[in-house]
Amino acid sequence: MNDLMNKIVSLCKRRGFIYPGSEIYGGLANAYDYGPLGVELKNNIKNLWWKKFVQSRDDMVGLDSAIIMSPKVWEASGHTGAGFSDSLVECQKCHERFRLDQIDMSKSCPNCEAKNNFTEPRQFNILMKTFLGAVEGEKAVAYLRGETAQGMFVNFKNILDTTRKTLPFGIAQIGKAFRNEITPGNFIFRTREFEQMEIEYFVREAEWEKWFEYWLNEMKDWLKIIGVREKKLNFNDIMEGERAHYSKRTIDIEYEFPFGLKELYGLAYRGDFDLKNHFKEPPYKDADPPAGGGGEFWPHVIEPSLGVDRTVLAVLCEAYDDSEKDRVVLKLPPKLAPYKAAVFPLLANKPELVKLARKIYDDLRKDFMVAWDDRGNIGKRYYSQDEIGTPFCITVDFESLENDDITVRDRDTMKQERVKIKDLSQCIKKLL
């Protein structure tokens, strides 16, 4: 793995962001567990997204649909067929498998160097199968969802009936998706179990282009908010023939990861493909149908689709900074940082300092995630918080006992200023 990736993976393990999955049993390849800091970072990303795209808007509603749905859903959506398959070739010498689009068949095997020794390409469906029911013979095949999107399509009519939304409007969902990827890898970039944040935005066909542009700008805005610089992005308009089976236009938003320029998010125009496959009758009726009746149709859909884990990885890549000697800083946007502040008593063996620091810590915890550290010298405590991205460190010293103020040290500028204890919570809120 690339040097920067190695540093990020090692920091994630060492500080409790992301652990290799099932580690005590020798690990499970390409499976990861989010640790105490990782779950905070991931939740902050998901909560920010939900607030921006669901709670702050009149034209959006949320959903949390089941991971296991009727197999008929996946048959209707085209996912059980060739549409959700990868072409796979196998090296006949070392038996390593590759995705056809990721290797050059005219060259030797990237694993064992064998020449001209690949099998013919064959289709491999990546929906993950499971079995329902306890009694052998009665077990029914089902699938773990391959995208969160389908839960939103099959509930389209339920949502219309219960919310009285009119076009244009959208449904959003955050949740796990599963794919039997042939070549998972690059840490949390491509795994078989991952999380998505997806929007299905329903529009009239005549307006799809306008809304496609609109959602592209919304995605750009989101990337700015989470600290991903535009110069690290590439917008790849996917050619016909290379798009997913349901898509009439797709832009892949690619990010310059340490291992290359790769898809971070996708924006697709799915037309009426999904609603038409799920609903025999047009599921939408205009509130004021045209004279002479009618006004029933299948809305078209624009889909901004974002991977949560790829967001975590891009955010970590952007934030990681070891340009200063002996200091690693995660320059996370404060809104995403696991801890917003850390509180230190200057000396752990002075009960009066510990008592006041503890009170400040307990008060701040009512509003923010706050860390406590009373070990070692202050410099080491600062560096320890820098490495996990804590924006502010608060030190309680002897002056604090006299003047009711503390030192606030800024992660990025390393500047320190005295702030009155009574103003502290407000001050952090403002900086966030």
Q: Please give the Cα distance from 424 to 431 (Å, whole number).
A: 11
Q: Of 189 and 382, which has the nearer Cβ to ligand GAP?
A: 189
Min. distance of Cβ 240 from ligand GAP in angstroms? 16
Min. distance of Cβ 236 from ligand GAP in angstroms? 11
- Coil/strand/helix, residue 145: coil
Q: Of 44 and 173, which has the nearer Cβ to ligand GAP?
A: 173
- Contact present, 17 and 313 (Cβ < 8 Å): no
Min. distance of Cβ 311 from ligand GAP in angstroms? 8
Q: Of 27 and 83, which has the nearer Cβ to ligand GAP?
A: 83
Q: In what order do the strands lie in the sheet with 405-410?
A: 370-372, 341-345, 392-396, 405-410, 416-420
Min. distance of Cβ 198 from ligand GAP in angstroms? 6
Q: Of 266 and 334, which has the nearer Cβ to ligand GAP?
A: 266
Min. distance of Cβ 23 from ligand GAP in angstroms? 20
Q: What angle do CA 319, 320, 322 make, to 5 degrees?
A: 140
Q: Please give the Cα distance from 314 to 321 (Å, whole number).
A: 13
Q: Of 251 and 388, which has the nearer Cβ to ligand GAP?
A: 251
Min. distance of Cβ 414 from ligand GAP in angstroms? 35
Exposure string of 294-330, with b = 16+ CB inside 10 Å and e = fewer, is: eeebbbbbbbbbbbbbbbbbbbbbbbbeeeeeeebbb
- Contact present, 311 and 233 (Cβ < 8 Å): no
Q: Of 303 and 318, which has the nearer Cβ to ligand GAP?
A: 303
Min. distance of Cβ 8 from ligand GAP in angstroms? 16
Min. distance of Cβ 172 from ligand GAP in angstroms? 12
Q: Of 190 and 411, which has the nearer Cβ to ligand GAP?
A: 190
Q: Of 146 and 389, which has the nearer Cβ to ligand GAP?
A: 146
Q: Please give the Cα distance from 270 to 264 (Å, whole number).
A: 19
Min. distance of Cβ 315 from ligand GAP in angstroms? 13
Exposure string of 50-80, with b = 16+ CB inside 10 Å and e = fewer, is: beebbeeeeebbebebeeebebebbebbbbb
Q: In what order do the strands lie in the sheet with 193-203?
A: 60-63, 169-178, 193-203, 300-307, 260-271, 249-257, 233-237
Q: Please give the Cα distance from 102 to 310 (Å, whole number).
A: 19
Tokens of 262: 């790769």
Q: Of 147 and 397, which has the nearer Cβ to ligand GAP?
A: 147
Residue 201: phi and psi, rounded to 5, are -110, 115
Q: Of 44 and 196, which has the nearer Cβ to ligand GAP?
A: 196
Binding site for ligand GAP (CB under 6 A): 147, 149, 179, 181, 190-191, 194, 196, 198, 263-266, 303, 305-307, 309-310
Q: Which residue is nearest to ligand GAP (CB)?
A: 307
Min. distance of Cβ 24 from ligand GAP in angstroms? 24
Continuous H helices in 16-95:
36-50, 71-76
Residue 9: phi and psi, rounded to 5, are -60, -40
Distances (CA, A) of 42 to 53, 125, 252: 16, 29, 22
CB atoms within 10 A of CB 334: 20
- Contact present, 159 and 165 (Cβ < 8 Å): yes
